[in-house]
Amino acid sequence: MWSDLQQFKADFFKALAHPLRIRILELLAEGDKSVNEIQSMLNSEGSAVSQQLSVLRAKNIVVGTKEGKRVIYSLRDPVIIDLLEVARKIFDNHLIDAISMYKELDKNN
């Protein structure tokens, strides 16, 4: 019933469906980082970050490269940066619409 592409998209977006995973991707969009760097930047527990990185790795969204005792994470496909930017633009459009509706309601009261 569903095509392979539709299933891929569903699985891909499911893997993105967590605020911490999105934030990790935003950080990795700025450049490769170790787990410790990500934890520090997020002020988050190591187990939470590791768990979310594991989900992203399992879906081939990020890759980890061993450098000595550290694992450095990076985006598997830099086009993900574009996807995050498009999501930001959609959010901004929704916000603009909500503000416009609020101003219209406020004007009528």
Q: What is the CATH number of the domain that holds 20?
A: 1.10.10.10
Do 69 and 82 sit in the same domain of this protein? no
Residue 104 binned pLDDT confidence (cut-offs 50, 70, 90): confident
> What percentage of residues in the chain have a pLDDT greater than 90?
71
On average, the pLDDT of the chain sits at 90
Tell whether 66 and 95 lie within a shared domain: no
| Element (DSSP H or E) covering residue 80 | helix 79-108
Both 86 and 36 in a single domain? no
Residue 109 has pLDDT above 70, yes or no: no
Q: Choose the weakest-confidence range: 6-15, 64-73, 93-102.
A: 93-102
Instruction: Tell me the CB-side half-sphere exposure of residue 54, using CA atoms within 13 A.
Output: 6
**Residue range of the domain that includes 101:** 78-109
Q: Are 46 and 39 in contact (CB under 8 A)?
A: yes
Q: Does residue 98 sit in helix, strand or coil?
A: helix
pTM flag (> 0.85): no
**Residue of 38, 33, 10 whose CA lies nearest to 23:** 38
Phi first, then psi: what are they for 22, rounded to 5°? -60, -45
Is the separation of the CB atoms in 59 and 15 below 8 Å? yes
Q: What is the pLDDT of residues 24-73, one digit of tens each?
A: 999 999 999 999 999 999 998 779 999 999 999 999 999 999 999 999 99
